[in-house]
Structure 1
Amino acid sequence: MTADPILATRGLVSGYAGSRVLHEVDVAVPEGGVLTLLGRNGVGKSTLVNTIMGLVPPMAGSVRVAGQEVAGARPDAIARLGVGLVPQGRRVFAPLTVAEHLDIADRLGRKGEWTRARVIDLLPRLGERLGNRGDQLSGGEQQMLAIARALLTNPTVLLLDEPSDGLAPAVVQQVGEVVREVCAAGMSALVVEQNLRLGLSVADRVVVMQKGSVHWDASVDEFRRNRARAEQLLGI
């Protein structure tokens, strides 16, 4: 755990319909850094992201953003404090054009350095597809739109839930390049991944979850050195 994380959970318990999925989870995203969250299917990674974002109410524990307690707050309030979400599955609105997606995010988000022009400069393919509807985009283009939409809210910390899901290897590589460039510009990120290569390529630290709990919090170098433990926890 870092001394002054931009985002931190402490003793976080969460789940659905009275069933616990997360069991006293502690994670910390360093300011200006990237924490990659690894784990097999069903261990609670997406539940953690959704609880941080306020989409799932916590049962107990703390979620702090820049030192401010947000556990139990509404998603829009958490977003206004600087948390941006790139959800699993992209969640692009099929009938809306790329331009309409960007306009909505721009109007509703915080104002800052991430403008529409800067986002299109980072993701030029979107500039070529402004008039296309969400359902006319490839999976990779939809993922870039989801990232662009989040950036236009001008977050200080970005939550990316399985950004490589369903994408071709070349597009996965592009996603990694975008995450690295955004974070090099000063943003922090929590990246939930099953793609080990992508997860490690962007990370400063790695957390591995198993059965709703954190079982390993390590530097990238430590994770790479301890292959046996990685295989045990991840089945790789």
Structure 2
Amino acid sequence: MTAMLEVRGLQSGYDGSTVLAGVDLDVAHGQVVALLGRNGVGKSTLVNTVMGLVRPTRGSVVIDGQEMAGKRPDAIARLGVGFVPQGRRVFAPLTVAEHLAVAEKAGRKGDWDRTRVLDLLPRLGERLGNRGDQLSGGEQQMLAIARALLINPRLMLLDEPSDGLAPAVVHQVGEVVHELCATGMSVLIVEQDLRLAFSVADRVVVLEKGSVRLDTTLEDFRSDPGRARSLLGVA
């Protein structure tokens, strides 16, 4: 498979500090890559740098053949990159319908319109008049996914989509990711919930101290539980 996302030698950080120390990573067309690692190793920094929210100090971010390192987030979104940030970042005073309208206005032309998004996430259709601060955590997460889909992405970045959610909602998130994969979308998912990560991923990339420690297939990663426990610090 050819790469939808190619990251090479990527370095970035905050306020002069280095968090990513030369990351190489690929996400092929139609592939789901789970980005794993202990807390503080740079997983969110990586997706934020790919999305243009953190400027790299060195390295390359090629998206569908175009160099995008250091470009603005709106330019990266227009190229077809959807982003579901950690914490969801829903605007409290805006209704669900208003969130969707903003996303539609900013989006590219494509198959993901409001009707299709609400077919995939029907609970949102029941809550169109509700403000962001009137939604449950699960509903806010579905709204964050809906906003990202309405830009008609070819690559979706998901940062800790299970964070703070009940198990039933986490399962629903997994089903949504499966649906996106069935459309041929590429997905890079940062996740601490290994059950969710393992249920959707084709490949696993493990970060350690700002660098890639392991890049392998899901089957290979799961074949060595001791290695997985050592890398991730889980019991």
Paired-residue identity, %: 72
2:210 corresponds in structure 1 to: 212
Which sits farther off after the overlay, 222-231 or 140-149?
A: 222-231
Q: 1:70 aligns with which of 61, 64, 68?
A: 68
> Counterpart of 2:104?
106
Please, which runs of 5 or more residues in structure 2 have no aligned partner? none
Q: Please, which of 36, 39, 42 is the counterpart of residue 41 of structure 1?
A: 39
Question: Which residue of structure 2 aligns with residue 91 of structure 1?
Answer: 89
1:58 aligns with 56
Match of 2:230 among 229, 232, 236: 232
Q: For 1:38 and 1:168, how far apart are their aligned partners in 2? A: 20
Number of aligned residue pairs: give it.
234
Q: Give 5+ residue unaligned stretches, structure 1.
A: none
AA aligned to 2:148 is: A
The Cα shift of 1:17 comes to 1.0
Q: Matches of 1:170 and 1:33 in 2, distance apart?
A: 25
State the Cα deviation string for residues 187-206 of structure 1 (Å, max 9, x = none): 11000001101011110100
Cα deviation, residue 82, structure 1 = 0.7
Structure-2 residue corresponding to 1:7: 5
Q: TM-score, normalised by structure 2?
A: 0.99
Task: Supply the RMSD in Å over aligned alpha carbons.
Answer: 0.6
Q: What are the equivalent positions in structure 2 for 1:15-34 lying under 5 Å apart?
A: 15-34=13-32
1:132 partnered with 2:130: yes
In the aligned structure 1, how far is the partner of 2:223 from the partner of 2:158? 26
3-state SS, counterpart of residue 23 of structure 1? strand
> Equivalent residues in 2 for 1:124-203 (5 A)?
124-203=122-201
